[in-house]
Amino acid sequence: MDWFNNIFPLERFADIFSMEIGYGEKLVFTEFNFWLFFILVLAIFSFLHKNKLARSVFLTIVSLYVYFKTSGLFLLVLIVSIIINYFFGRRIFAAKSELRRKWIIAFSAIFNLLILGYFKYAIFFTESFNEVFNTNYEAVNYFIQYGKAWGGEEMFAKPDPSLISQIILPVGVSFFTFQNISYTVDIYRKEITPVKNFFHYTFFVSFFPQLVMGPIVRARDFIPQISQPFCLERKDFSWATIQIVKGLVKKIVIADFLVVHFINRVAEDPSAYPGFVSVLAMWAYSLHIYADFSGYTDIAIGLSRLMGFELKENFNSPYKAVSVADFWRRWHKSLGSWLRDYLYIPLGGNRGGTIGSYIAIFFIFVFLIFITGWYDLLYVYAGLTVLYLIGLMVFKDFKRYVHRDLNLLITMVIGGLWHGASENFVIWGAMNGVALVIYKYWKKISPYENKSNFFVHFWKIFITFNFITFTRIWFKLEEDGMPNIMLDQIWNHFNFTWDTFVTVLSTYQAVFWIMLGGFIIHWLPDKVKRIYEGWYTRMPLPLQAVSVAVIILLMYQAISSESPPFVYLMF
């Protein structure tokens, strides 16, 4: 029994089922405690899986507990959001008049956006307002202020919960808010009917593998599965374990190693390194953020499949993209499709503009001036308005193209804001929006658009990858002014010499081997990846178990002394 106690000490189980909270660190996929917990969940689930209601109730309780362990009393925010949206959905469906349906969906949207806006953007807007108007307002977290009196400071998962002036972000708020919005909107559009059982709806929103970091799940894709009988064939089991192991390798071996041993060192002080090292660090960051985020969703998809539920693919080898448009079809597909269906198309999409386009662009213009303090932008906007009016008089179909481009820019800027309340995220989103607009015109005249020979294909991928990597300077370096420091270092102090390059390579030798291996695996043809997946699924189960055990043993040798959280936990 000694070996059992060494691997599964009672302290671990006490920690798993204690009331201690760790702000996303206690029951996450990279922690051994999570896998002990998941084994127990599967053991109980095996007795309940044939009863659909019992299955939903059990997995709902599990999901809410996991969320409590990561976010403390912010669990109440999730529960209130679920309850209110459940009843909004039923009221929209039962409404007799179209006007009443519109009022209810409007209240639903306002409610969800207020939750997102308060927790995610209150501090940002308060600080920006104080800076512009020289005031001294504070963004007070009333939720924590009153919650402390009931549950104590330890019930909030944050290093210093006594700071009630700080709006602490509930883990996964962006993801579960978007799921709730899509549910009520789809009912309004008459694409789905409301979920009759409250536990089924709670299970849909809170399902723990995807709750905190996605992929964003649509009601029309997931809810029908709740009423289906449990099914897990041997090939599905094998495929699920491949996804889980692949995700862990991406996170632990690639993402964590790169960010701890190289990326963060350069990002903290770019001026301490030659400019070309910043370029290498940003290449590494592109690999890191892909391995980190896609690693999480790989694990989430694998875990879900073991419980009999299918989540849609969220990444499709994004660095094989041959254009910015192709990249955004491959990267974070659940968010991209959500923004397309619930923002871009309602604004008018490719067809033209709506009143919503003008309202959105007005608020975005005001917002940009507000957060940057660049009042000269008023002249830029005035000039663009004049050009727009001239274009209407001179060019045929000019209005339709401008509206399409505005809708695209609005969508990408809001996509940037979804990631966080920061001027840098707005810049990042706007740069990608402008690139998408330019590409729409370029592809019509490009002599290379329909060519697929090796050198053209390579060049397209190279340009796309480096543009995406360049924009991520604003994504990674969130502190104001830091992107400019790195850009200045790259532009004015590149300082590339062969001796310096060799020194950097030798200093960070392990980092560059990981980078090389990561990119090679990423750029392997899909058919090669299907071959090794096929080999694994055809193995006998005992051999599969041995293979997984060996990989995990080797993988955990690469664990760094630091264990960075998943990047998208902050979103």
Find out whether 27 and 303 touch, Cβ atoms under 8 Å. no
Q: What mean pLDDT value characterizes the chain?
A: 82
pLDDT on residue 8: 54
pLDDT, greater one: 325 or 7: 325
- The model's confidence at residue 57, banded by pLDDT at 50, 70 and 90, is very high
Residue ranges of E strands in 165-305 = none
Task: Tell whether the model's pLDDT for residue 162 goes beyond 60.
Answer: no
Percent share of the chain, pLDDT over 90: 28
pLDDT on residue 271: 87
- The model's confidence at residue 562, banded by pLDDT at 50, 70 and 90, is low
Low-confidence winner among 38-47, 124-133, 158-167, 516-525 (lowest mean pLDDT): 158-167
Nearest by Cα to 29 from 259, 250, 188, 205: 250
pLDDT on residue 513: 93
The residue whose two tokens read 């662009």 is 361
Maximum Cα–Cα distance for the chain, whole Å?
A: 85
Task: Tell whether the model's pLDDT for residue 523 goes beyond 70.
Answer: yes
Quick one: average pLDDT of 543-550? 82
Hey, what's the torsion of the CAs at 556, 298, 13, 73, to 10 degrees? 130
pLDDT, greater one: 148 or 266: 266
* pTM given for the model: 0.88
Quick one: average pLDDT of 442-457? 83
Task: Tell whether the model's pLDDT for residue 489 goes beyond 50.
Answer: yes
Task: Tell whether the model's pLDDT for residue 24 goes beyond 70.
Answer: no
Task: Tell whether the model's pLDDT for residue 417 goes beyond 70.
Answer: yes
Dump pLDDT digits (tens) for 328-353.
999 999 988 988 888 888 877 777 66
- The model's confidence at residue 159, banded by pLDDT at 50, 70 and 90, is very low
pLDDT on residue 160: 41
pLDDT on residue 164: 38
Quick one: average pLDDT of 296-321? 92
pLDDT on residue 484: 86
Dump pLDDT digits (tens) for 208-258.
998 888 788 888 889 889 888 888 888 888 889 999 999 999 998 899 999
- The model's confidence at residue 299, banded by pLDDT at 50, 70 and 90, is very high
What are the residue boundaries of the structural domains of the chain, listed by start? 21-140+169-230, 232-315+497-571, 320-453
Percent share of the chain, pLDDT over 70: 85
pLDDT, greater one: 413 or 516: 516
Instruction: Give whole-number Cα distances, 202 to 8, 64, 75, in Å.
Output: 32, 9, 13
Low-confidence winner among 13-27, 304-318, 425-439, 454-468 (lowest mean pLDDT): 13-27
Quick one: average pLDDT of 261-284? 91
pLDDT, greater one: 536 or 203: 203
Please tell me the distance from the alpha carbon of residue 128 to that of residue 180, in angstroms, as a whole number: 29
Q: How many CA atoms lie within 13 A of 166 on its CB side?
A: 11
Quick one: average pLDDT of 460-464? 94
Quick one: average pLDDT of 444-449? 81
- The model's confidence at residue 282, banded by pLDDT at 50, 70 and 90, is very high
pLDDT, greater one: 306 or 15: 306
Taking each helix axis from N to C terminus, what angle separates 198-206 and 52-71, rounded to the nearest 10 degrees? 40
Q: How many CA atoms lie within 13 A of 71 on its CB side?
A: 23
Nearest by Cα to 77 from 160, 165, 146: 146
Task: Tell whether the model's pLDDT for residue 150 goes beyond 70.
Answer: no
Quick one: average pLDDT of 113-139? 75
Quick one: average pLDDT of 479-497? 85
Quick one: average pLDDT of 313-341? 92
Buried/exposed 12-41: b ≥16 CB within 10 Å, e otherwise: eeebbeeeebbbbbbbbbbbebbebbbeeb
Task: Tell whether the model's pLDDT for residue 201 goes beyond 70.
Answer: yes
Sign of the torsion angle spanned by Cα atoms 380, 384, 385, 386:
positive
pLDDT on residue 167: 46
Task: Tell whether the model's pLDDT for residue 274 goes beyond 80.
Answer: yes
